[in-house]
Chains A and B, each alone.
Chain A
């Protein structure tokens, strides 16, 4: 049983573009860390560690999406649902850092690209969709599925952008867009089912541990500033 390396490796994207995205990712994650301080209490510290460990585990579970093509959960929407966008983006970053530095999954010089796509874009977009859907009373299960699909698609588009700026090889940007969005629509659906089952299981036993339910967006003023401050500015 050979588990595939699954994130962007070294060499796919030019060094200068990789460095630029590393700088953007570093700034965004630093901002998340500052905002996360407000959300992190004594209880959330081990829970956030658990969310990171759980995402690491589920990322090993590649599932079938098309003949000869698999996919795995990225985790941005799950993290945003359970621990919120700021701590959530840090959780996904911890997973990507351990994978690049210890497992050799994802290039070390490509870490900024991977963090930008999955931790920053994936979590921010997932959270924006979650708050929008919960506000109009979409059930939690459906919210988790839709947020996952959108989150994964946008993360995949982040890679297409990086490919357009600093990629190379056989195919045009349009063909890369088609290949990435097609497979990641299906990966997003798979991720959506895993995320929805996980979050509803937690919500049934410990609803107080689901950030998205704890912070019901009733007060529109506080909700507005969360969306405004989301780290999706590129």
Chain B
């Protein structure tokens, strides 16, 4: 059951936006660096920009088709859009903002729908306030309620959390998850934050310079990124060029080591990677001796976050001394407390199950 189908091309200043994907009733996260064309993509779907070529359909309705010269205007698309800075009408109260799209309905239905949205978005009591008199989270929820009021056939969210303080994000995220759970129609969420993309979407589309770098179930893309670019965009810190050896092992050219993988590597992998939190430090010599892919390592430097330590390490002592780390590992503080006073070199374990290869 495909609800929203997009296949468009649009020439932008730096590159050409060229995407094809579809969305069903599960939320889709669109992840990409700033300037990757994410917002433009949403604007094309909403009808605020016109693609050069392609076709957009929503529930069998053709919204745009360049070959048939169809271009439904934004006001007739029935697509709810949540803007990055909410775009609330400053001269209208919360209730008037939410009811803006309901003018053609009878008065009683307008107020009934507004009231139900106010309670669903936990805004009851704030009806007479003006947007300026609301907190960031309340503004965001008002914008969400306003977009949902027209009962849109699809919902587009442009960086919905980026304008919020960190402490509000969790709260707003919960609101969005709640909304998605009951919405059951295509919902597209654009973000440059991979954790947000993962938490809020079921499906994931990775956009890089206007092109689809990956599209599918989020777990699969995070576990096995199809390319080194996607690996980087999904937060993988350790990527090395790779070369296959005759005995089935892989040479990690940037780390100067020979690695065994859990499965035979596919045909000629070009890169291999491992996520920072998968890098392990065996605590006993016994544990280390039995495993493959265990190497001596030296710590070049560390960087501390509230609960975790990032270790920048090198597999040879000279590089570490020169401050040129090759790998980045992340351990919890508790483990770091046990490790920190050990004499170097430590032993690092790149477990075969955590290593993945990429063809490009």
Asked if A pairs with B, the answer is: no
Show the binding face of B for A, using Cβ within 8 Å.
Answer: none
